[in-house]
């Protein structure tokens, strides 16, 4: 049974609406490794999650929370 239906279309719509554009002040973009000294990545997504299916009921928070938890959760494909 296909329970995903048209979810991929919804995911693309939400992803496009969530995109952040950067202002290229002083022509800093794209980053040039030869001129790069340091980069800071800050926030919940500063590291990859240990395992997308790592919590038995998805009741832990490890990076971005992609779904709720409890009896209605399932593992990510």
Q: Report if residue 42 sits inside a domain.
A: yes
Q: Report if residue 5 sits inside a domain.
A: no
Angstrom distance (rounded) from CA 41 to CA 61: 18
pTM of the predicted model, to two decimals? 0.33
User: pLDDT tens, 21-41?
Assistant: 788 888 888 888 888 888 888
Strands of 6-76, DSSP E: none
| pLDDT in the model for residue 31 | 84
Q: Report if residue 31 sits inside a domain.
A: yes
CA distances from 16 to 12, 21, 22, 29 (A): 6, 11, 15, 21
Name the DSSP letter for residue 67.
S
Domain that holds residue 28: 21-47
Number of compact structural domains in the chain? 1
Mean residue pLDDT of the chain comes to 77
b or e along 30-67 (b: 16 or more beta carbons within 10 Å of the residue's beta carbon)? eeeeeeeeeeeeeeeeeeebeeeeeeeebeeeeeeeee
Q: Report if residue 26 sits inside a domain.
A: yes
Contact indicator for 31, 39 with CB cutoff of 8 Å = yes
User: pLDDT tens, 60-77?
Assistant: 766 666 777 677 777 777
Q: Report if residue 29 sits inside a domain.
A: yes
């Amino acid at each position: 049974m296909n329970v995903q239906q048209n979810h991929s279309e919804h995911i693309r719509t939400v992803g496009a609406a969530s995109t952040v554009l950067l202002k290229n002040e002083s022509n800093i973009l794209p980053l040039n490794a030869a001129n790069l000294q340091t980069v800071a990545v800050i926030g919940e997504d500063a590291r990859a999650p240990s395992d997308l299916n790592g919590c038995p009921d998805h009741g832990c928070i490890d990076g971005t929370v992609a779904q709720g938890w409890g009896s209605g959760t399932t593992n990510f494909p």
